[in-house]
């Protein structure tokens, strides 16, 4: 693919080659030594060269004035390598501001954002700068990854913002299709951003030059709720979107890139192209509420290409849910998890300690229940201790003294206990939400609390067992260092098998989640089928077709895990093995004996 750099590489050729020659010939070059090189060979009067510029120069000069291109050299130049150390490149996009069915008292009410998000969170800022447009958000993020040396071929798409299931279906189809359009254009070296930006400036209130709302909500004196204010502020935008979608569906007008309408057929055509595209979807994530999950909903989001659902548990205590105006009971969460598990989705829960009406001991009991009760047991988890934001109704409970934030010691006690209660099949993806400290009225403002907890565990001779704490990441691994471990547990409506390749000290190189259903299938397509819900091989993400010694991603672990899953499914009497494959992994599974169905791929045993 061809993407422009910010400087004339030929004009700066001599100093760039001096720096890069040292990087290529000295594999152990430290960050401090690289920084000194940058000072020794500056960019004229413009300071030192950026990592982006070094990476662009290396790509241009490798195999010419430098030895042939090597992935390891690029990695030494890469910024923030941890972002792709789990084997895939995550691209997060936010939906536009829109009404939400919830009235949770802990939720921020920033009307410039989709519900629960704040305008100065990093991801939210990127979304606002790109007018919440899916094409612009995706393309810009891919460009940023490319410029900083990260692979852009295996993408996990994470769609955040409010309650996905509450947005109109036409918007959802269009939103996902435009993400795929951006991936395809980026992979071909086509930049369609200007046309989108021009159309947004002409039509959409969400363009930064036109989105000038000053409306705010005061949590202490709520006169109008988020939904009312959003509908008032974006009234013209919402009417335009609705009228435009209806007119397009009737064939009355032609579409522009920002008209929020697409058909299922158009999305499925984009899916087909993505199967062999240079930039592929290896996962698609949406977030929603438990009370918006139904059989129809899980099958519909599956048709969108979704493979994982982020779902807000928040608490497993009915009284706490009621006090916080969550709008549903624990029974809704039980039902949602069951339907998602039956449909093969990865279940990524959100859980919130320090909610109004809870306590440190009650939170620890709640967390324990989440993994003791077979009806829950999520695959992944975000732990978001409740933060007090001035636009949230919780401000009223803080003012009257009925709620207060945990002290540092109380929060450390809750999280340390929670880490120790987390089983090996779960991945703690985030601990503490990335809310700027300037937005937090009182309470914890430390975003590195995971490290604080891990340090405390080390101090007492313990270690977290969750997946994230055990990933091999940058470590060199060899097949002889690994053995297959099988963890069986009850998933309520299924028996779950967590197959993991681990080292002697239980660091994890790859895993497979196998579901063995105990109840009738949610759709005829899954009749008498065991289900692969996820396969993941860890280690720094490599580009498609790339191989390097010591990399877990190229030890054939995925194939071995699949064959073991086949054996187990056959032993348990299933006639077929299904997989909830991402769009960009369909070809991978075809090569391993799976054939295409409508929503799943299936292998006859």
Of 53-57, 151-155, 194-198, 419-423, the least confident: 53-57
Distances (CA, A) of 543 to 74, 79, 558: 12, 17, 16
324 within 8 A of 105, measured Cβ to Cβ: yes
Q: How confident is the model at residue 436 (pLDDT cuts 50, 70, 90)?
A: confident
Mean pLDDT, to the nearest integer, of 113-139?
94
Name the DSSP class of 440.
Answer: B
Tell the burial category of 461 from Cβ atoms under 10 Å away from its Cβ (0-12, 13-18, 19+): exposed
In this predicted structure, the answer to whether residue 153 has a pLDDT above a threshold of 80 is: yes
285 within 8 A of 323, measured Cβ to Cβ: no
Mean pLDDT, to the nearest integer, of 375-390?
96
Amino acid 64: pLDDT: 84
Query: pTM for this structure?
Result: 0.90
Strand partners, 309: 286, 347
What's the CA angle centered on 392, arms 391 and 395, to 5 degrees? 100
d(CA 511, CA 500): 4
103 within 8 A of 327, measured Cβ to Cβ: yes
Amino acid 552: pLDDT: 55
Q: Which residue has the higher pLDDT, 240 or 569?
A: 569
498 within 8 A of 511, measured Cβ to Cβ: yes
Q: How far is CA 394 from the centre of its chain?
A: 28
d(CA 406, CA 358): 11
- Which domains does the chain carry? 13-77 (no CATH), 97-153+163-283 (no CATH), 472-604 (3.40.630.30)
Q: Which residue has the higher pLDDT, 408 or 81?
A: 408
* Nearest alpha-carbon partner for 347 in 314, 310, 382, 315: 310
* Nearest alpha-carbon partner for 347 in 356, 338, 359: 338
* Nearest alpha-carbon partner for 412 in 435, 383, 379: 383
d(CA 523, CA 518): 14
Q: How many CA atoms lie within 13 A of 84 on its CB side?
A: 24
Amino acid 479: pLDDT: 87
Q: How confident is the model at residue 270 (pLDDT cuts 50, 70, 90)?
A: very high
CB neighbourhood size of 265 (10 A): 9
Tell the burial category of 398 from Cβ atoms under 10 Å away from its Cβ (0-12, 13-18, 19+): buried
Percentage helix, strand, coil for the chain under 3-state DSSP, each rounded to 5: 40, 15, 45
Tell the burial category of 121 from Cβ atoms under 10 Å away from its Cβ (0-12, 13-18, 19+): buried
- For 34-92, what is each residue's pLDDT tens digit? 888 888 888 877 788 888 888 888 888 888 888 888 877 877 787 665 555 567 899 99
Of 311-325, 454-468, 535-549, the least confident: 535-549
Q: How confident is the model at residue 5 (pLDDT cuts 50, 70, 90)?
A: low
Residue 94's H or E segment, with its range, is strand 89-94
Of the chain, the percentage scoring pLDDT greater than 90 comes to: 72
Amino acid 84: pLDDT: 59
**3 state SS of 581:** coil
d(CA 150, CA 543): 9
405 within 8 A of 354, measured Cβ to Cβ: yes
In this predicted structure, the answer to whether residue 121 has a pLDDT above a threshold of 90 is: no
Q: How confident is the model at residue 559 (pLDDT cuts 50, 70, 90)?
A: very high
The DSSP string of 273-327 is HHTT-SSEEEEEEEEE-GGG--HHHHHHHHHTT--EEEEEEE-S-HHHHHHTT-S
d(CA 531, CA 576): 9
Q: In sequence order, what E strands does 95-221 have? A: 154-160
Residue 488's H or E segment, with its range, is strand 483-490
- For 283-298, what is each residue's pLDDT tens digit? 999 999 999 999 999 9
Of 230-239, 439-448, 466-475, 543-552, the least confident: 543-552
* Nearest alpha-carbon partner for 551 in 596, 519, 504, 509: 509
Name the DSSP class of 389.
Answer: B
Q: Which residue has the higher pLDDT, 191 or 71?
A: 191
Amino acid 538: pLDDT: 84
Q: In sequence order, what E strands does 344-472 have? A: 346-351, 380-383, 427-431
- For 464-515, what is each residue's pLDDT tens digit? 999 999 998 777 788 899 999 999 999 999 999 999 999 999 999 999 999 9
Q: How confident is the model at residue 1 (pLDDT cuts 50, 70, 90)?
A: very low
Q: How confident is the model at residue 346 (pLDDT cuts 50, 70, 90)?
A: very high
- For 509-539, what is each residue's pLDDT tens digit? 999 999 999 999 999 999 999 999 999 998 6
d(CA 549, CA 560): 18
* Nearest alpha-carbon partner for 96 in 118, 120, 117, 113: 113
7: tokens are: 């400087």
Q: How confident is the model at residue 2 (pLDDT cuts 50, 70, 90)?
A: very low
d(CA 456, CA 91): 32
Average pLDDT, the chain: 91
Name the DSSP class of 124.
Answer: H
501 within 8 A of 510, measured Cβ to Cβ: yes
307: tokens are: 């493979």
**Placement of tokens 């009738």 in the chain:** 520
d(CA 149, CA 50): 12
Amino acid 25: pLDDT: 87
Q: Which residue has the higher pLDDT, 12 or 597?
A: 597
Amino acid 18: pLDDT: 85
Q: Which residue has the higher pLDDT, 387 or 38?
A: 387
């Amino acid at each position: 693919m061809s993407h422009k750099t910010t400087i004339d590489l030929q004009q700066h050729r001599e100093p760039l080659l001096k720096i890069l020659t040292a990087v290529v010939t000295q594999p152990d070059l430290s960050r401090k030594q690289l920084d000194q090189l940058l000072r020794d060979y500056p960019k004229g009067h413009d300071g030192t060269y950026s990592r982006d510029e070094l990476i662009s120069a290396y790509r241009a000069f490798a195999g010419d004035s430098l030895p042939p291109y090597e992935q390891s050299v690029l990695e030494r130049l890469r910024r923030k390598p941890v972002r792709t150390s789990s084997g895939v490149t995550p691209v997060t996009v936010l939906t536009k501001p829109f009404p939400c069915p919830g009235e949770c008292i802990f939720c921020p009410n920033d009307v410039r954002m989709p519900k629960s998000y704040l305008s100065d969170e990093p991801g939210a800022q990127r979304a606002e700068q790109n007018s919440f447009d899916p094409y612009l958000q995706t393309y810009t993020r891919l460009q940023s990854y490319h410029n900083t040396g990260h692979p852009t071929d295996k993408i996990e798409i994470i769609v955040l913002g409010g309650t996905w299931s509450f947005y109109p279906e036409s918007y959802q189809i269009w939103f996902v299709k435009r993400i795929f359009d951006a991936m395809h254009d980026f992979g071909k070296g086509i930049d369609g951003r200007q046309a989108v930006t021009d159309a947004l400036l002409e039509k959409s209130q969400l363009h930064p030059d036109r989105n000038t709302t000053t409306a705010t909500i005061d949590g202490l004196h709520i006169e109008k709720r988020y939904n009312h204010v959003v509908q008032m502020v974006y009234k013209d935008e919402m009417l335009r979107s609705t009228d435009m979608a209806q007119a397009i569906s009737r064939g009355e007008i032609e579409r522009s890139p920002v008209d929020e309408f697409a058909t299922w057929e158009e999305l499925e055509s984009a899916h087909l192209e993505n199967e062999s595209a240079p930039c592929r979807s290896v996962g698609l994530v949406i977030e929603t509420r438990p009370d918006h999950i139904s059989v129809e909903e899980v099958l519909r989001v599956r048709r969108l290409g979704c493979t994982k659902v982020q779902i807000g548990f928040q608490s497993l205590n009915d009284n706490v849910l009621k006090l916080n105006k969550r709008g549903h009971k624990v029974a809704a969460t039980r039902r949602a998890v069951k339907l998602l598990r039956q449909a093969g989705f990865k279940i990524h829960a959100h859980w919130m300690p320090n909610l109004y009406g809870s306590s440190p001991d009650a939170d620890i009991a709640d967390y324990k229940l989440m993994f003791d009760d077979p009806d829950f047991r999520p695959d992944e988890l975000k732990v978001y201790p409740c933060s007090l934001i001035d636009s949230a109704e919780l401000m009223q409970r803080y003012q009257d003294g009925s709620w207060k934030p945990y002290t540092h010691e109380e929060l450390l006690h809750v999280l340390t206990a929670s880490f120790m209660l987390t089983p090996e099949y779960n991945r703690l993806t985030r601990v503490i939400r990335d809310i700027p400290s300037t937005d937090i009225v009182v309470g914890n403002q430390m975003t590195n609390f995971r490290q604080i907890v891990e340090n405390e565990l080390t101090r007492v001779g313990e270690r977290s067992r969750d997946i994230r704490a055990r990933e091999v990441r940058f470590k060199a691994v060899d097949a002889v260092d690994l053995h297959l471990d099988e963890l069986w547990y009850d998933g309520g409506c299924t028996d779950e098998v967590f197959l993991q390749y681990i080292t002697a000290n239980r660091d994890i190189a790859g895993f497979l989640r196998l579901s063995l259903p105990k109840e009738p299938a949610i759709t005829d397509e899954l009749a008498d089928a065991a289900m692969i819900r996820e396969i993941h091989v860890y280690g720094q993400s490599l580009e498609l077709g790339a191989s390097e010694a010591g990399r877990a991603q190229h030890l054939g672990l995925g194939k071995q895990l699949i064959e073991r899953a086949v054996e187990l499914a056959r032993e348990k009497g299933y006639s077929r093995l299904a997989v909830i494959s991402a769009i960009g992994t369909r070809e991978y599974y075809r090569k391993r004996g799976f054939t295409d169905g409508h929503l799943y791929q299936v292998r006859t045993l």
